[in-house]
Amino acid sequence: MIDLSKLAEPGSIEETLLEKIDLTRLPRHVAVIMDGNGRWAKARSLHRVEGHRAGIASVREIVETGARLELGVMTLYAFSVENWKRPRYEVATLMMLLKEYLRKELATLMENDIRFVPIGRIDGLDPSVQRELRYAEQQTAQNTGLLFQIALNYGGRAEIVDTVNRIMSLLRDREMSDAAIDEDFFSAHLYTANVHDPDLLIRTSGELRVSNFLLWQIAYAEIHVTKVLWPDFRRKHLFEAIIDFQARERRYGGVDESPDAEMFIEADSEEGRRRDQ
Ligand code: FPP
């Protein structure tokens, strides 16, 4: 049962937004491209890494909100396979911040019953980062609330290539190398095997790109882009994204067969007949 008192203070803007959300139609999986840390820092004449440091407060608030809203899954894009091209100092600071986050936040993850799972080419990260990730994953493995996936050294194309290789080696081992595979089988071998595809993809800082994030999984996701920079992204912005999501009509390539939609069609054709007369 969702405890609304933990999500909004009485009389707050969050409360007004929360009232607009249909709690029975929440997205099951929310994926987030956290962007704009550099611009946030630049606007304050700070070094880029200060933007990443400030972004951690947003991570904390958004993940905790997701857990309290009882969303099934949240996936945050923290470091892409392309991000190695950034200056060494920035990469090192991001890794240091990640380790610091894991150490400091483990207790909060446990309190909120959150299961933490990193996705991506984790074995390409520094062994000290891998150790912290493994520890947090093991400690939270029995939690049954929100699944919090963090994408690290992640690329959507890399994931698809890794999946193809994984499937090929599996079929070779089973001596089934000429077997045909289908979409379900392929999905079941992605990093996100057994996890519902995102219903909602949020991108901060206004850019209209998917940046190689969850390419297979976002096939039918609704996309919400906000100009808010990641370090400024707060609970109310997540509520706004969910309200936007709930206003969309999701048809998965089919047609809307709800009674309301039929009424529209009838009204349209009625009007059409009148016009034709
Ligand atoms: C994009 O902003 C953001 C990133 C590449 C890193 C996101 C990382 C964090 C929020 C902190 C670490 C995360 C955890 C979970 C501890 P950008 O630098 O590309 O911004 P810009 O486009 O304005 O330059």
Q: Edge-to-edge strand order for the sheet containing 147-154?
A: 115-119, 147-154, 73-80, 29-33, 200-203, 222-225
pLDDT (0 to 100) of residue 261? 52
Query: Does any ligand 1 atom lie closer than 6 A to the CB of residue 118?
Result: no
Q: Which residue has the higher pLDDT, 1 or 271?
A: 1
| Distance in Å, CA 77 to ligand 1 centroid | 8
pLDDT (0 to 100) of residue 271? 47
What are the DSSP calls for 63-101, one per residue?
HHHHHHTT-SEEEEEEEEGGGGGS-HHHHHHHHHHHHHH
| Distance in Å, CA 110 to ligand 1 centroid | 25
Read off the amino acid at residue 136: A
pLDDT (0 to 100) of residue 251? 73
Q: How many CB atoms lie within 10 A of CB 84?
A: 11
pLDDT tens per residue across span 150-189: 999 999 999 999 999 999 999 998 887 777 899 999 999 9
pLDDT tens per residue across span 184-216: 999 999 999 999 999 999 999 999 999 999 999
pLDDT (0 to 100) of residue 237? 98
Tokens 């009509």 sit on residue: 249
Query: Does any ligand 1 atom lie closer than 6 A to the CB of residue 29?
Result: no
Percent of the chain with pLDDT over 70: 92
Q: How would residue 264 be classed by pLDDT, with cut points 50, 70 and 90?
A: very low
pLDDT at 263 over 80: no
Q: How would residue 91 be classed by pLDDT, with cut points 50, 70 and 90?
A: very high
> Are 26 and 69 a contacting pair, CB within 8 Å?
yes
pLDDT (0 to 100) of residue 178? 76
CA atoms within 13 A on the CB side of 191: 26
Nearest CA to ligand 1 atom 8: 78
| Distance in Å, CA 241 to ligand 1 centroid | 19
> Are 27 and 245 a contacting pair, CB within 8 Å?
yes
pLDDT (0 to 100) of residue 174? 86
pLDDT (0 to 100) of residue 258? 60
Residues labelled as active-site residues:
35, 83
> Are 222 and 162 a contacting pair, CB within 8 Å?
no
pLDDT (0 to 100) of residue 249? 75
pLDDT at 274 over 60: no
pLDDT (0 to 100) of residue 276? 43
pLDDT at 107 over 70: yes
What does the alpha-carbon distance between residue 57 and residue 136 come to, in Å, rounded to a whole number? Answer: 19
Range of weakest confidence among 11-20, 123-132, 266-275? 266-275
Q: Which of 47, 52, 104, 108 to mutate to test the pocket of ligand 1 (most atoms within 8 A of CB)?
A: 52
Decide if domain 26-155+197-270 falls under CATH 3.40.1180.10: yes
* Domain boundaries along the sequence of the chain: 26-155+197-270
Polymer length of the chain:
277
Indicate the average pLDDT of the chain.
Answer: 92
Query: Does any ligand 1 atom lie closer than 6 A to the CB of residue 38?
Result: yes
Q: How would residue 141 be classed by pLDDT, with cut points 50, 70 and 90?
A: very high
Tokens standing for residue 275: 């016009």
Beta bridge partners of residue 43, listed in sequence order: none
